[in-house]
Amino acid sequence: MTPNVSLRLCRVDYTDPVHMRALIDLLDAYASESEGGAEPLSDFTKSNLANALQSRPFMFSVLAFDEAQGDLPVGLVNCVEGFSTFACRPLVNIHDVVVASTHRGQRIGEQMLALVEQLARDRGACKLTLEVLSGNAPAARLYRRIGFDNYQLEPSMGHALFMQKWL
């Protein structure tokens, strides 16, 4: 499919109310879907996310707007800078990838991730990381198509498992 030619990508300014409204609305829509946990964002999150992101210089986000539809927000990627002790360089974890359901299949995610990759290179990052649910086949196909693979150090040890513990 041909990429959406009316797309405008930008790095999010966490102090810009228009950017933050787009970020929260897109993230809330994604969180409400089964891939995002099927629960909308809490009122606490909606009220406090802008200030929380502003206070964390290791976070950055990318937005996609459909200019043909009046600058409609249609995509979001949230990223967290980490650090690779093995490489002694930063790494960037892609934490959320959101494309509005009305705009999926137009390679918006691919275009946003290309910008994320450039921003990560600008930071001197050695790699990008992300996690994807095993049931989200379209996302996994996208990530593999643009060069992601299962994380492993030594093939005989298998690939990494993503785990969590709620606090």
| Closest by Cα among 88, 17, 90 to 51 | 17
CA 129/CA 57 separation, integer angstroms: 18
User: Element (H or E) spanning 18, and its range?
Assistant: helix 17-32
- 100-126 pLDDT, tens digit per residue, is 999 999 999 999 999 999 999 999 999
Tokens of 148: 């992601």
**Which CATH number applies to 7-147?**
3.40.630.30
Per-domain residue ranges of the chain: 7-147
pLDDT value at 5 more than 80: no
What percent of the chain lies above the pLDDT cut of 90?
86
If one compares 37 and 63, the residue with the highest pLDDT of the two is 63
Are 22 and 73 spatial neighbours (Cβ–Cβ below 8 Å)?
Answer: yes
Count of other CB atoms within 10 angstroms of residue 94: 22
pTM over 0.85: yes
- Give the pLDDT confidence score for residue 2 in this predicted structure: 52
